[in-house]
């Protein structure tokens, strides 16, 4: 019990932020922007990321509280802090962690110098965790049911999913004309571990009604299901390996396989007015390795002891009765999980002709380069309950020809003061980028509700200037 609670609290602590990459999206001087829009207008002769360092990202935070709220060393009793957090959370509050590490990545132009077709490929490891705050159950654990007569504690509050997987991908994009870029990407997922418990329902109820032979009407109605893949081995007593090592091994070499697609478009209405849209991770994983599904399904009414005067005894054992009514069942069926699908879109207006253009506009291209761009972005991600939506306003500026800055202001369920800053600079062939979300929170990270960052290093080769 306590361990479960601790797990919940630690998860809260890690908790967090969506997978919105508002800074990376359409930041086309960074090749990794192709991962959020395979139809982004990115061009190169060829590029490769520095292995393990081309894309390191993490999103952390929480919609209803910060690490400070829980762990501040301020003399307030820990139990009071927990109580405060539970009280101000709702079942809609969620905690989310997403981490990605690019193992390798690269790309090249296909065809000759005048070709506008590009291939990009790579592999990355990803960890996803999503849990809604199980408010009703937390209240029950903290307070009990004494002051909640008539309330049904909702078991559907229990909702989480977690996955570790590796993704191998190949993408193709082509600049069809000055106006249109189209792109797509195929992904093979290899899931090392998955836990899904998102379709729970039922309640724990204590009420009172007139005419009942008992003081209380007490009922547990349960439809709980936890599906796991790649995990059950570790829960067995006889297991004595290294969990981290085994999960890593399964993730890359022995995972449950899945397939996914990304697609994207960039369309220039005018020289300085651009529309983009993409769909990312439209795909599924067939969970087939080391699968185990645990269920607690049933209904139980608790009436207390009812003596049978005069009749021979029929002993009733409450726990046996309970276990018969709501048995723990284990099944071994394959199941399919859908990847959290992301949708992005943006509209961008550029202005201020580039002063650096004078010495680089000599490729015969008549396209003008602008120094500034402003615009808006929309992000939607599928979730077990309702989709996550974020709106972003951004300003992008070329400080030098090879140094770009992007600033964003994002409004979503986690924060309405999320200002992000991103920089991408290229020195020779060497590209460095750093993207930081919620920069206002960096003055005291412990009070942040959400933080996200990404950085990486690439080598990008363009055609030599003529």
Partner 1 sequence: MKLNAISTISKVIIASYLFFSCSSDLDFDQVEDLKLEPVVVANLAYFNLPANEIIYNGNEQVAFDISDFDVIRNKFFNEHLKKAAFNFEIENTINRAFSVAILLLNDNEDILDTSTFQVPAYTGGINIIKFPPEVFDNQRLEILKQATKIGFIVRIGAGPPLNQNSPGNLKLRSSATVYMEIQ
Q: Which residues bind partner 1 (CB under 8 A)?
A: 1-2, 5-6, 9, 67-68, 71-73, 77-79, 81-82, 140-147, 149, 206, 213-216, 218, 302-310, 313, 315-319, 399-400, 403, 405, 421, 423, 434, 436, 439, 442-447
Shortest CA distance to 32 belongs to which of 432, 466, 317? 432
The smaller minimum CB distance to partner 1, of residues 13 and 232, is found at: 13
Question: Which one, of 397, 392, 362, lies nearest residue 380 by Cα?
Answer: 392
- Report d(CA 422, CA 426) in Å as an integer: 14
Q: Minimum distance between the CB of residue 414 and partner 1, rounded to whole angstroms?
A: 18
Bridge partners (DSSP) of residue 298 are 222
Taking the least distance from each CB to partner 1, the nearer of 77 and 238 is 77
**Spacing of C-alpha 385 from chain mean position:** 14
H or E stretch at 11: helix 2-14
**For residues 102 and 441, which CB has a smaller minimum distance to partner 1 in the complex?**
441
* Minimum gap (Å) between residue 351 Cβ and partner 1: 18
- Whether the CB-CB separation of 57 and 454 falls below 8 Å is answered with yes
Least separation, in Å, of the C-beta of 140 and partner 1?
A: 7
CA-to-CA dists, residue 398 to 47, 73, 77, 430, angstroms: 21, 44, 50, 17
Q: Which is nearer to partner 1, 67 or 167 (by Cβ)?
A: 67
CB atoms closer than 10 angstroms to residue 58: 16
Distance separating alpha carbons of residues 229 and 391, to the nearest angstrom: 35
In whole angstroms, how close is the CB of 347 to partner 1 at the nearest point? 26
Question: Interhelix angle for 135-143 vs 78-88, to 10°?
Answer: 140
3-state secondary structure of 420: strand
Q: For residue 50, give every residue at least 6 positions away whose Cβ sits within 8 Å of its Cβ, in sequence order, or none.
A: 456, 457, 458, 459
Question: Nearest Cα to 23, choosing from 459, 462, 453?
Answer: 453
Judged by CB, which is closer to partner 1: 204, or 373?
A: 204
Nearest approach, Cβ of residue 131 and partner 1 (Å): 18
How distant, in Å, are the alpha carbons of 62, 94, 100 from that of 77?
21, 24, 36
Shortest Å distance, C-beta 145 to partner 1: 6
Q: How far is the CB of 435 from partner 1 (least distance, A)?
A: 11
CA gyration radius, the chain: 27
Cβ-based nearer residue to partner 1, 57 or 268? 57
Of 139 and 285, the one with the shorter C-beta distance to partner 1 is 139
45 CB-near residues (< 8 Å, 6+ apart): 108, 109, 461, 462, 463
CB nearer to partner 1: give 226 or 421: 421
The minimum distance between CB 399 and partner 1, in angstroms, equals 5
Q: Least separation, in Å, of the C-beta of 52 and partner 1?
A: 20
Q: Which is nearer to partner 1, 236 or 443 (CB)?
A: 443
């Amino acid at each position: 019990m306590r361990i479960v609670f601790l797990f919940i609290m630690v998860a809260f602590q890690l908790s967090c932020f969506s997978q919105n990459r508002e800074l990376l999206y359409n930041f086309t001087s960074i090749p990794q922007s192709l991962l959020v829009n395979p139809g982004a207008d990115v061009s190169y002769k060829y590029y490769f990321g520095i292995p393990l360092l081309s894309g390191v990202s993490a999103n952390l935070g929480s919609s209803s509280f910060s690490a400070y709220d829980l762990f501040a060393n301020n003399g307030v009793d820990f139990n009071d802090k927990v109580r405060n957090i539970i009280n101000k959370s709702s079942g809609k509050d969620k905690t989310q962690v997403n981490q990605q590490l690019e193992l390798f990545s690269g790309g090249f132009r296909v065809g000759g110098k005048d070709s506008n077709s590009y291939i990009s490929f790579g592999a990355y490891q990803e960890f996803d965790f999503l849990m809604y705050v199980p408010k009703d159950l937390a209240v029950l654990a903290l307070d009990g049911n004494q002051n909640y007569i008539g309330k049904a504690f909702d078991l559907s509050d229990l909702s989480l999913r977690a996955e570790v997987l590796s993704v191998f991908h190949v993408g193709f994009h082509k600049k069809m004309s000055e106006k249109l870029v189209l792109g797509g990407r195929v992904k093979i997922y290899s899931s090392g571990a998955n836990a899904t418990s998102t379709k729970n329902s039922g309640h724990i109820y204590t009420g009172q009604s007139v005419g009942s032979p008992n003081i209380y009407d007490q009922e547990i109605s349960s439809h709980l299901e936890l599906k796991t893949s790649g995990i059950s081995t570790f829960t067995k007593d006889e297991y004595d390996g290294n969990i981290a090592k085994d999960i890593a091994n399964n993730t890359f070499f022995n995972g449950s396989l899945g397939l996914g697609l990304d697609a994207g478009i960039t369309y220039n209405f005018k020289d300085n007015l651009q529309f983009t849209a993409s769909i990312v991770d439209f795909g599924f994983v067939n969970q087939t390795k080391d699968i185990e599904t645990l269920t607690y399904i049933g209904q139980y009414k608790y009436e207390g002891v009812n003596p049978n005067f005069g009749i021979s005894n029929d002993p009733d054992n409450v726990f046996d009765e309970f276990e018969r009514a709501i048995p723990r069942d284990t099944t071994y069926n394959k199941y399919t999980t859908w990847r959290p699908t992301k949708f992005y879109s943006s509209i961008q207006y550029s202005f201020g002709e580039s002063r650096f253009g004078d010495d680089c506009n000599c490729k015969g291209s008549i396209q003008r380069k602008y120094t500034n761009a402003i615009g808006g972005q929309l992000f939607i991600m599928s979730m077990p309950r309702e989709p996550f939506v974020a709106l972003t306003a951004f300003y992008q500026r070329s400080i030098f020809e090879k140094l770009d800055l992007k600033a964003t202001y994002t409004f979503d369920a986690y924060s309405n003061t999320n200002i992000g800053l991103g920089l991408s600079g290229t020195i020779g062939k060497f590209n460095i980028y750093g993207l930081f979300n919620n920069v206002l929170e960096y003055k005291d990270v412990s009070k942040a509700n959400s933080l996200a960052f990404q950085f990486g290093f690439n080598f990008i080769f363009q055609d030599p200037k003529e």
